[in-house]
């Protein structure tokens, strides 16, 4: 297992390197000079020059890149041009919020999507299958923002069951933290549940017709055991892959939902940074997200290792 | 070979004590089709007997076996008639399948595809022990011990190590042995083997056949073996049922069938078999191919491919006795000598 993961980790190194070059280049290629934002209304050439010196923008590109990477490796992602806070500090503030949101959404996606997928594959062509597919399609088609607003109107405004917005850190008040996150994670989770259901369904369909499922039936096992043990175990691989991918997407892409529920998460940080040409922050976020994606993939690899005896045997 | 063997349709009521399985007038039609895929199959398997069902692909032999096991997917077919007697109890297949507690317990099945019939995610030991636990209960340790004994029984060396291995670590022949071990887990009275050697190479084939032969002698289990390989039949069968187009066209003791085939289709099959004792020359073929089920001719289903067919064959033939325990479903049976020479 250690060897297997080490190998995967080594493959990840050039990937991260490539991403870092890309991120760095992107900043240099984008139109608009962030210093113009900083320099204020007058745009005094002397001030601009001073700023260039300060941010070492006059160095050759290679040197700039090297400095940036060395700093990044030490956890220094630069300073936000806008708020003058260290980027790493900003990210560390927002990341737990979004991770919590993503994790809770994933719980919804998995607990709804996977059983629904199994059931609709098992009852393929039946009314259950049909209904599950219609619900899934609606789940995919209903925009998050609409569902979010409707939920706020109903659950918070009308029934006053859950807070409409805000964020309470887990460490502060565990129960309240979960309660505030419940609606936004439901909104995000149901949309993913639909995707999850479709993928689980197709994975289950292909294993349910496998010869070893027939063998399991020939053993006289109960259907529940045939489906949940013999078939589902072999359908897990695509589900793990999808979970890892969706989780990464959740971290990077929950912008809209975070806005609606005014959650001070990663998404809001990204949007603000992009609009303000706060490149240090954008760079930092892209880098952290990319590393996060790679980490999720490593986790998925570890799961494959556990699931697949053939990998274990190597 | 049971000496008193006679066509099931002519057997007096009341199952003989040695009979393990008796299927009577089994008819099955797939939904969306107008013609029955299995059209009135009757057969008997006695203790210690190996009955081979022979026929081309699509003749209904696997469907019959899967129906006996209750393994056909639900909602895809309808049983039009058929009684299944197992160990003296009779089940009307139109209304009920074999009770599930018999499946994998008293009736076990092995399949054609050893490479894919085992679950890749679980160890060999797990998969055998599961069958033991399902029907006998007991602890996991006991079931594993039983699994180990079974591996020895099916001739797998280093059983302790094999128990922990996964299917991908085993060869095809080895996997089929594991499948047999699973089938034997609860000392079945009947083993259904659906082309168990088709996917294996010749030396392994012979080993697996020997194993099945040995097991039925040791345990007295009856075996229903499905095959399209007359070589396998000659090697192992006591009785043979030749199937064509969902019907049994000839049924009898293996010696009778080989020495004195009565149905034109059986004769065709025999002459299409390569023989070492008569080298040279071309192999005969049965002209044409099995018609699609929707295009099955009325009357004798073989008549469109039969060299002797005449207007009588538009009527459905009845089984005719052609020797001791031997009958053929053909208007011309028992064949007169001049026809056999012609064939």
> What is the token pair recorded at B166?
């996964």
The CATH H-level superfamily of B8-106+186-342 is P-loop containing nucleotide triphosphate hydrolases (3.40.50.300)
**B134 has pLDDT over 50:** yes
Mutate to test the interface with B, among A210, A213, A214, A220 (most CBs of B within 10 A): A220
Could you tell me which of A161, A5, A184 has the C-alpha nearest to residue A103?
A184
pLDDT at B6: 42
Domain ranges of chain B: 8-106+186-342, 107-185
How far apart CA A196 and CA A246 sit, in angstroms, is 9
User: Across-strand partners of B227?
Assistant: B54
Among the partner residues A215, A221, A310, nearest to B134 by beta-carbon distance:
A221
Domain segments of chain A: what residues? 95-276
* Cβ contact, residue pair B100, A220, below 8 Å: yes
CA dist B49 and B38 (Å) reads 23
Q: What is the dihedral of CA A294, A296, A297, A303, to 10 degrees?
A: 150
Q: Is residue A86 helix, strand or coil? A: strand
- Rounded to an integer, the average pLDDT of B296-301 is 90
Q: Do A233 and B121 touch (CB under 8 A)?
A: yes
Q: Tell me whether residues B108 and A212 touch, CB distance under 8 A.
A: no
Q: Which tens digits make up the pLDDT trace of B159-211? A: 999 999 999 999 999 999 999 999 999 999 999 999 999 888 888 889 999 99
To test the contact with chain B by mutation, choose from A125, A127, A209, A212 the residue with the greatest count of B C-beta atoms within 10 A, namely A212
CB A88 within 8 A of CB A77: yes
**Is the pLDDT at B263 greater than 80, yes or no?**
yes
Question: Would the pLDDT of B48 be above 90?
Answer: yes
What SS3 string covers chain B? CCCCCCCHHHCCCCCCCCEEEEEEEEEEEECCCCCCCEEEEEEEEECCCEEEEECCCCCCHHHHHHHHHCCCCCCCEEEEEEEEEECCEEEECCCCCCCHHHECCCEEEECCCHHHHCCCCCCHHHHHHHHHHHHHCCCHHHHHHHHHHHHHHCCCCCHHHHHHCCHHHCCHHHHHHHHHHHHHCCCCCEEEEECCCCCCCHHHHHHHHHHHHHHHHHHCCEEEEEECCHHHHHHHCCEEEEEECCEEEEEEEHHHHHHCCCCHHHHHHHHCCCCCCCCCCCCCCCCCCCCCHHHCCCCCCCHHHCCCCCHHHHCCCCCEEEECCEEECCCCCCCCHHHHHHC
Residue B2 has pLDDT above 50, yes or no: no
> What percent of chain B lies above the pLDDT cut of 70?
91
Q: Is pLDDT above 50 for B1?
A: no
Helix (H) or strand (E) holding A135: helix A127-141
Residue numbers of chain A with a pLDDT score lower than 70: 32, 34, 37, 314
Chain A residues whose C-beta is within 8 A of a chain B C-beta are 210-212, 214-222, 230, 233-234, 307-310, 313
Please state which architecture CATH assigns to domain A95-276: Orthogonal Bundle (1.10)
Average pLDDT for B120-147: 95
- B109 shares contact with chain A (CB less than 8 Å): yes
- The pair of three-digit structure tokens given for residue B339, joined into one six-digit string: 């026809």
Beta strands B77-86 and B89-92 are antiparallel
* A234–B119 CB contact, under 8 Å: yes
Which pair of structure tokens corresponds to residue A41?
């209304």
Spatial contact of B147 and B128, defined as CB atoms under 8 Å apart = yes
pTM: 0.83
**CB of B95 within 8 A of CB of B51?**
no
Res B7: pLDDT: 45
DSSP A79: B
Q: Are B229 and B196 in contact (CB under 8 A)?
A: no
Contact B101 A220 (CB under 8 A): yes
Q: What is the pLDDT of residues B139-154, one digit of tens each?
A: 999 999 999 999 999 9
Predicted confidence (pLDDT) at residue B340 exceeds the cutoff of 70: no
- Residue B198 CB burial class (10 angstroms; 0-12, 13-18, ≥19): middle
The enclosing H or E element of A215 equals: helix A211-218
Phi-psi region of B32 (alpha: psi -120 to 50; beta: other; left: phi over 0): left
Token match 């859950």: residue? Answer: A162
Q: How many residues does chain B have?
A: 343
Helix axes A127-141, A174-208, angle to 10 degrees: 130
* Token pair for A61: 């590109």
Cβ neighbors of B312 (< 8 A, separation 6 or more) are: B331
CA closest to A221 among chain B residues? B134
What pLDDT was estimated at residue B285? 75
Q: In Å, what is the CA distance from B89 to each residue of B21, B184, B224, B236?
A: 9, 22, 18, 28
* Chain A residues inside the 8 Å CB shell of B169: 313
User: 3-state class of A1 per DSSP?
Assistant: coil
* From A22-36, A117-131, B4-18, B118-132, the region with the lowest mean pLDDT: B4-18
User: Binning pLDDT at 50, 70 and 90, where does residue B38 land?
Assistant: very high
What is the DSSP-derived secondary structure letter of residue A156?
Answer: I
Tell me if the bond preceding B275 is cis, omega within 30° of 0.
no
Give counts: helices (H), strands (E), chain A: 15, 0
| Average pLDDT in chain B | 87
* Structural tokens at position B287: 């002209």
């Amino acid at each position: 297992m250690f060897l297997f993961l080490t190998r995967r980790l080594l493959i990840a190194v050039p990937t991260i390197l490539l991403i870092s070059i890309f991120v760095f280049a992107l900043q240099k290629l984008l139109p608009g000079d962030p210093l113009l934002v900083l320099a204020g209304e007058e745009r005094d050439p002397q001030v601009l020059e001073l700023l260039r010196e300060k941010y070492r923008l006059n160095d050759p590109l290679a040197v700039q890149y090297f400095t940036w990477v060395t700093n990044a490796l030490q956890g220094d992602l630069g300073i936000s041009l806008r708020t003058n806070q260290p980027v790493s500090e900003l990210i560390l503030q927002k990341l737990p919020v979004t991770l919590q949101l993503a994790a809770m959404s994933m719980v919804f996606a998995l607990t709804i999507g996977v059983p629904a997928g199994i059931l609709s594959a098992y009852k393929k062509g039946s009314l259950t299958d049909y209904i599950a597919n219609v619900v899934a399609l609606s789940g995919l088609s209903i925009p998050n923002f609409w569902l979010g607003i409707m939920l706020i109107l109903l659950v918070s405004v009308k029934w006053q069951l859950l807070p409409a917005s805000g964020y309470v850190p887990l460490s502060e008040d565990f129960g309240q933290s979960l309660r505030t996150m419940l609606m936004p994670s439901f909104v995000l989770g149901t949309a993913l549940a639909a995707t999850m259901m479709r993928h689980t369904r197709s994975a289950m369909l292909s294993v349910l017709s496998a010869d070893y499922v027939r063998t399991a039936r020939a053993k006289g096992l109960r259907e529940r055991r045939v489906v949940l043990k013999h078939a589902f175990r072999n359908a897990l691989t695509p589900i793990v892959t999808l979970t890892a991918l969706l989780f990464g997407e959740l971290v990077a892409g929950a912008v809209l939902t975070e806005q609606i529920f005014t959650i001070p998460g990663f998404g809001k940080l990204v949007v603000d940074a992009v609009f303000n040409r706060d490149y240090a922050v954008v760079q930092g976020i892209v880098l952290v997200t990319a590393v996060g994606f790679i980490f999720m993939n490593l986790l998925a690899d570890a799961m494959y290792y556990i699931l697949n005896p053939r990998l274990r045997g190597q | 070979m049971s000496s008193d063997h006679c066509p099931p349709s002519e057997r007096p009521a009341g199952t003989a004590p040695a009979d393990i399985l008796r299927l009577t007038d089994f008819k099955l039609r797939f939904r969306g089709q107008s013609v029955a895929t299995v059209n009135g199959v009757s057969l008997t398997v006695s203790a210690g007997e190996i009955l081979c069902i022979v026929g081309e692909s699509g003749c209904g032999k696997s469907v019959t076996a899967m129906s006996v096991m209750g393994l056909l997917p639900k909602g895809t077919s309808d049983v039009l008639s058929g009684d299944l007697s197992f160990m003296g109890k009779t089940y009307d297949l139109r209304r009920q399948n074999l009770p599930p507690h018999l499946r994998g317990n008293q009736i076990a099945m092995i399949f054609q595809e050893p490479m894919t019939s085992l679950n890749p995610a679980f160890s060999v030991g797990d998969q055998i022990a599961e069958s033991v636990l399902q029907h006998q209960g007991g602890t996991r340790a006991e079931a594993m011990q039983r699994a180990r004994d079974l591996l020895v029984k099916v001739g797998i060396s280093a059983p302790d190590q094999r128990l922990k291995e996964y299917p991908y670590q085993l060869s095809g022949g080895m996997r089929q042995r594991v499948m047999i071990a699973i089938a034997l887990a609860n000392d079945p009275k009947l083993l259904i083997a659906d082309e168990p050697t088709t996917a294996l190479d010749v030396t392994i084939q012979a080993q697996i056949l020997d194993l099945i032969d040995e097991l039925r002698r040791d345990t007295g289990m009856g075996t229903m073996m499905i095959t399209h390989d007359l070589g396998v039949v000659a090697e192992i069968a006591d009785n043979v049922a030749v199937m064509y187009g969902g019907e049994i066209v000839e049924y009898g003791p293996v010696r009778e069938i080989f020495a004195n085939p009565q149905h034109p289709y059986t004769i065709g099959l025999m002459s299409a078999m390569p023989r070492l004792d008569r080298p040279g020359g071309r192999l005969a073929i049965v002209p044409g191919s099995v018609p699609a089920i929707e295009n099955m001719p009325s009357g004798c289903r073989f008549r469109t491919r039969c060299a002797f067919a005449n207007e009588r064959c538009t009527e459905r033939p009845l089984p005719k006795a052609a020797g001791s325990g031997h009958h053929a479903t053909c208007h011309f049976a028992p064949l007169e000598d001049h026809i056999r020479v012609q064939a």
